[in-house]
């Protein structure tokens, strides 16, 4: 939902319906329009890298292992972002339960990798 709100705001600012040079997210931080376009460009470039990586992984290790590796990467990045408090400003502790979840996912990906190639 927030993606649609940001995109709607960007389109409205671009065509001149609103004239704002910055946008505020949940009243916490104000981001200039130029910074927002920069973040969108970075997200687009990273999206290209992710799609190329998935295509390579699926071609070399198979669909199941490739997608499991993508989910593992998302889990690890989400864990680190939660620890840094990137989304809400509140840091979430990395406890044994979370580490055990990542270890279980690593084991699952390892078990899905093809053998004997």
Its pTM stands at 0.65
The pLDDT of residue 43: 85
Average pLDDT over residues 87-106: 90
The CA distance from 71 to 40, in Å, is 22
Strand partners, 57: none
The CA distance from 7 to 27, in Å, is 18
Q: Give the torsion sign (CA, 81, 83, 85, 88).
A: positive
- How would residue 7 be classed by pLDDT, with cut points 50, 70 and 90? confident
The CA distance from 62 to 113, in Å, is 8
The domain locations on the chain are 62-117
The pLDDT of residue 59: 86
The pLDDT of residue 29: 61
**Cα–Cα separations (whole angstroms), residue 7 to 3, 33, 67, 88, 90:** 6, 12, 28, 21, 26
The pLDDT of residue 21: 63
Instruction: Give per-residue pLDDT as tens, 35-82.
Output: 777 777 888 888 899 889 888 888 889 999 988 998 999 999 999 988
Question: Which is more confident, 109 or 32?
Answer: 109
The pLDDT of residue 97: 95
Instruction: Give per-residue pLDDT as tens, 14-26.
Output: 776 765 666 565 6
Question: Which is more confident, 76 or 12?
Answer: 76
């Amino acid at each position: 939902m927030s993606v649609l709100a940001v995109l709607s705001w960007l389109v409205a600012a671009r065509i001149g319906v609103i004239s704002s040079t910055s946008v505020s997210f949940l009243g916490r931080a104000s981001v200039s329009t130029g910074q927002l376009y920069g973040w969108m460009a970075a997200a687009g470039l990273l999206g290209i890298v992710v799609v190329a990586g998935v295509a390579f992984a699926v071609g070399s290790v198979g669909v199941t292992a490739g997608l499991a590796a993508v989910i593992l990467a998302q889990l690890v990045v989400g864990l680190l972002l939660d620890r840094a408090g990137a989304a809400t400003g509140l840091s979430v502790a990395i406890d044994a339960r979370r580490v055990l979840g990542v270890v279980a996912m690593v084991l699952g990906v390892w078990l899905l990798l093809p053998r004997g190639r």
